[in-house]
Amino acid sequence: MDSLFLSLLADLFHQTGLADLTPGNVIMVAAGLVLLYLGIVKKYEPYLLVGIGFACIVANVPDSTLTSEGGLFWYAYQGVAKLILPPLIFLGIGAMTDFGPMIANPSLVILGAAAHLGIFVALIGAEALGFSLKEAASIGIIGGADGPMAIYTTMKLAPDLLPQISVAAYSYMALMPLIQPPIMRLLTTREERRIIMKQPRYVSRLEKIAFPIVMAVIVNLFLPPVAPLITMLMLGNLLRECLAVTKLAETASNALLNVVTLVLTTAIGSTMGAQTFLTSKTLLIIGLGLLAFACGTASGVVFARLMCRLTHGKINPLIGSAGIASVPIAARVSHMVGQQESRSVFLLMHAMGPNLAGVFGTAISGGIMLALLAH
C-alpha cells in the first residue's frame, strides 16, 4: 500500500513543472523578483519593470502554457516580432509630448547628438568581442535608450538577439535613476549643478502644428528605414497640438499607450527563459548595454558642461544626461538630481529639449545602420 502511494506521488510530481525545474529557472525567477522589487518598492519605472518582472517569472515556470507557442504571452511577442507594437508606442509618446522646449531652444539639440557616443562605443566593443557587424550595430543601439528603436533595429539586423537586446534596453531605461546620477555628479561640480536656467521662450501654436508635419516629411525623405516609428511619433504629436481631435489624443496618450505598454513589457519579459537567456552572449550584451548607457550619459554631461562654459554659466550641465532618447525618463532624472542640489533648480522643461532631440539622434543612428547593413 505504501509503495503504491509513493508511486502515485512520484507520478503526480512528474506531471508538474517541478520535475523540469532547473537551477537556471530559479536564477531567472529570482531576477524577476528583483525587477518587481525595484518597480513596486523602489518605484523605478514600475510601468516597465512590473510587466517585465512578472512575465520573467512566468516564463521560467516549466511547461507554462502562457509562453509556449499559441499561449497568450507568445501572441503578445508576435506584436514585437512583427514590429506592430513599437510604432504604437511612438504614437502614444507623441500624443503626450510637448516639443515646445526643443523648438524654443534649438541650440540644445546638439546635446541629443553628443549623448549618443555610447552607441558607437558599444558597437566597436561588440565587434571586438566577436559579434558580427549587424549584431554589433543592434547592440550599439541600446545606448540610444530608446526601447522601440532598439527592437525595430534588431528585428531588421539581428532578430536572433531580440530577447537579450529588448530586455537590456528596457531594463536599463527603467534603471536610469540608479545608473545616471553617480555619473552626473562625478562629472560636474556642486556649483554647476545648482545653476538656474532661464525660462524658455514662448512657442506659438502654429510652430507646434507645423513641426510634426515638417519632421514627418523630412524623415520619410531622408531616413525611410526608420520612417514608421518617427512618422507615428509625429502623428501622435499632431493629434495633441492641433486641438481638433482631443479625444483621439487622449486615447493615444492614455488608454492605448497603457495597453500597448502592458502587452510590450509582458512580451519582453516572456523571452527571459533560462534556456535562452543564461548564456555568455547574453552577459556580454547586458555588459555592453550598460557601457553604452554610461558612455552616453557621460558624453552628454561633458558636452553640456562645455556649453555651460561657453555661455558663461547659462546652461546647467545636468541636462546633458537627458540627451539620450528615453522620453521622459532621462529628463526626469536630470530634474531629480538638480532638485537634490537645490529646490530652486527646475530642469524638467529644459531637459526635455535634449531628451526629445535624442529621439531623433537615435533615429538617425538607427536609420544609417539600417541603410548600410539591412540588405
The domain ranges of the chain are 65-373
Spatial contact of 208 and 103, defined as CB atoms under 8 Å apart: yes
What is d(CA 244, CA 172) in angstroms, rounded to the nearest whole number? Answer: 37
Amino acid symbol at 266? T
Q: Quote the pLDDT of residue 10.
A: 59
Q: Max CA-CA distance within the chain?
A: 89
CB atoms within 10 A of CB 321: 32
pLDDT along the chain (375 residues), means of 10: 61 59 92 94 91 94 85 93 94 95 90 91 95 95 90 93 90 90 96 93 95 96 93 97 97 97 94 88 93 94 96 95 90 95 94 93 91 85
Q: Quote the pLDDT of residue 327.
A: 86
User: What does each C-alpha distance from 187 to 182, 231, 317 come to in angstroms?
Assistant: 9, 36, 9
What is d(CA 363, CA 232) in angstroms, rounded to the nearest whole number? Answer: 13
Q: Quote the pLDDT of residue 298.
A: 96
Q: Quote the pLDDT of residue 7.
A: 66
Write phi, then psi, for 255 (nearest 5 degrees): -60, -50
Exposed, middle or buried by CB within 10 Å (0-12, 13-18, 19+), for 308?
Answer: buried
- Report the alpha-carbon angle 149-151-155, nearest 5: 120
Q: Quote the pLDDT of residue 292.
A: 93
DSSP 271: T
Cell of residue 354, nine digits: 535634449
Considering Cα of 320, then 323, then 328, then 333, what sign does the dihedral take? negative
CB atoms within 10 A of CB 309: 11
Spatial contact of 209 and 241, defined as CB atoms under 8 Å apart: yes
Interhelix angle for 162-174 vs 147-157, to 10°? 170
Spatial contact of 369 and 141, defined as CB atoms under 8 Å apart: yes
Q: Quote the pLDDT of residue 179.
A: 93
Query: Which residue has 537567456 as its cell numbers?
Result: 277
Which of 149, 126, 109, 138 has the alpha carbon at shortest distance from 351? 109
Q: Quote the pLDDT of residue 202.
A: 92
Which of 298, 293, 285, 291 has the alpha carbon at shortest distance from 326? 293
Q: Quote the pLDDT of residue 190.
A: 95
Q: Quote the pLDDT of residue 15.
A: 57
What is d(CA 317, CA 211) in angstroms, rounded to the nearest whole number? Answer: 27
Spatial contact of 163 and 139, defined as CB atoms under 8 Å apart: no
pTM for the structure as a whole: 0.89
Q: Quote the pLDDT of residue 1.
A: 53
